[in-house]
C-alpha cells in the first residue's frame, strides 16, 4: 500500500524538527532491542542531543517508516533529513569516520589502546590462529560491556593493537573502551579459558537487602531512591522518600554526579534490576537494586506498607 501524502508530511515534519532523528524501539533512556541500544550508544558518544521516535508506541509509524525509507528494519537514522541507514550502517559509518563527518564532529580517535596479554593467553590465541591462517583476532565490547574475542577476516577499518606477539583488531568504540585491558587464562566449569579484565567497565549493580536499605536511610546517608513500578502500584503502596521513575525523573538522574548512590525498587526486584543496569551503563558507579522489592520492605521493615 502506497503511503498517503498526509503520512509523508507527518514523517517530514518529524525529520524537520531536529537535525538528528532516530526511529527506534524504545526510548533513548530505555532501548527495547539490542540494535536500537547500539545505535543510541553511538549517537550518545557523538552528539549531546537528538530526537528519538519510539516505533513501539505507534504502529503506523513502525510500518510506515519502512516504506518511507525503503528500509525493512528498525532502527533508522536520519541526519539533516537524509536517511543514513540502520544499526550496521551507523556502526560502519562510525568506524570509518563518515558519521562524524555527517554530524560535523571531530574524526574518531584511532589511537591503539594498550592491552596486556599474558604468555599463556598469547599461546592459546596463537594456536587458534594457526588453525585458521587467513583469519585475524577481533575484539568487540558492546554497549553492555560484554567482551568477545573471535577469529574472522580483516575488514580494513579496524584499530590495531599488539601485545605479546598477538595483533588484535577492533572497532573505534571498542578501542576507546579497551585501554588497559588484560587478557589471561582461568579455570572455569568448562575447562581452561580466556579471562578478560577491563578497568574501564562500570561497577556491577549491588543487590541491597531491605534491612540494609533501612540502615542507609536511618543513618542519613545521602541516597536517591526510585520506584520503577506503574502509577497504580505507586498509589497503592510506596517507600517514603522515593520518586516514581518517570521520563522527567530519568532526565534528572542523567544530570546527577556519577558517584551519586542510586537505589531502585519495584514489586519483587526484577524491574528494578533492569533499571539499575541501565544507569550502570550510563557510568554511575554506586547502583543498588532492592532484593525482593517493596514486598520485602513490607515483610521485613515496615508492615504498615500494604502488600499486594
What is the full per-residue pLDDT of the chain (308 aa) written as tens digits? 678 899 999 999 999 999 999 999 999 878 899 899 999 989 998 998 999 999 999 999 999 999 999 999 999 999 999 999 999 999 999 988 999 999 999 998 899 999 999 999 999 999 999 999 899 999 999 878 999 999 999 988 899 999 999 999 999 989 999 999 999 999 988 899 999 999 999 989 999 999 999 999 999 999 999 999 999 999 999 999 999 999 889 889 988 999 999 999 999 999 999 999 989 988 899 999 999 999 999 999 999 999 99
What are the boundaries of each domain within the chain? 5-103, 116-197, 206-300
Which candidate, 94, 92, 104, 113, places its Cα nearest to that of 42? Answer: 94
Backbone angles phi, psi at 244, to 5 degrees: -65, 140
In words, the CATH class of domain 5-103 is alpha beta
Q: Which three cell numbers stand for residue 94?
A: 562510525
Topology at the third CATH level for domain 206-300: Oxidized Rhodanese; domain 1 (3.40.250)
Options 3.40.50.300, 2.60.300.12, 3.20.20.370, 3.30.70.330; CATH for 116-197 is: 2.60.300.12
Amino acid at each position: 500500500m502506497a503511503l498517503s501524502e498526509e503520512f509523508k508530511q507527518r514523517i517530514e515534519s518529524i525529520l524537520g524538527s531536529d537535525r538528528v532523528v532516530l526511529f527506534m524501539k524504545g526510548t533513548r533512556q530505555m532501548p527495547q532491542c539490542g540494535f536500537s541500544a547500539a545505535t543510541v550508544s553511538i549517537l550518545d558518544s557523538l552528539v549531546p542531543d537528538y530526537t528519538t521516535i519510539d516505533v513501539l508506541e505507534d504502529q503506523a509509524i513502525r510500518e510506515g517508516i519502512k516504506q518511507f525509507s525503503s528500509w525493512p528494519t528498525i532502527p533508522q537514522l536520519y541526519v539533516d533529513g537524509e536517511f543514513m541507514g540502520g544499526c550496521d550502517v551507523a556502526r560502519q559509518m562510525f568506524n570509518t569516520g563518515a558519521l562524524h563527518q555527517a554530524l560535523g564532529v571531530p574524526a574518531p580517535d584511532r589511537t591503539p589502546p594498550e592491552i596486556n596479554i599474558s604468555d599463556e593467553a598469547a599461546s592459546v590465541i596463537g594456536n587458534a590462529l594457526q588453525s585458521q591462517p587467513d583469519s585475524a583476532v577481533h575484539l568487540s565490547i558492546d554497549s553492555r560491556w560484554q567482551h568477545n574475542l573471535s577469529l574472522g577476516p580483516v575488514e580494513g577499518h579496524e584499530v590495531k593493537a599488539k601485545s605479546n606477539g598477538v595483533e588484535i583488531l577492533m572497532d573505534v568504540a571498542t578501542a576507546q573502551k579497551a585501554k588497559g585491558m588484560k587478557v589471561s587464562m582461568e579455570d572455569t566449569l568448562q575447562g581452561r579459558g580466556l579471562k578478560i579484565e577491563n578497568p574501564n567497565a562500570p561497577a556491577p549493580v549491588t543487590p541491597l537487602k531491605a534491612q540494609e536499605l533501612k540502615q542507609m536511610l536511618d543513618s542519613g546517608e545521602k541516597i536517591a531512591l526510585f520506584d520503577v513500578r506503574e502509577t497504580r502500584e505507586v498509589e497503592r503502596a510506596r517507600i517514603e522518600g522515593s520518586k516514581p521513575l518517570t521520563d522527567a525523573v530519568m532526565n534528572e538522574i542523567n544530570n546527577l554526579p556519577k558517584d551519586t548512590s542510586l537505589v531502585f525498587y519495584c514489586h519483587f526486584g526484577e524491574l528494578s534490576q533492569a533499571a539499575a543496569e541501565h544507569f550502570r551503563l550510563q557510568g554511575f558507579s554506586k547502583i543498588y537494586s532492592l532484593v525482593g522489592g517493596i514486598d520485602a520492605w513490607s515483610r521485613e521493615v515496615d508492615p504498615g506498607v500494604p502488600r499486594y
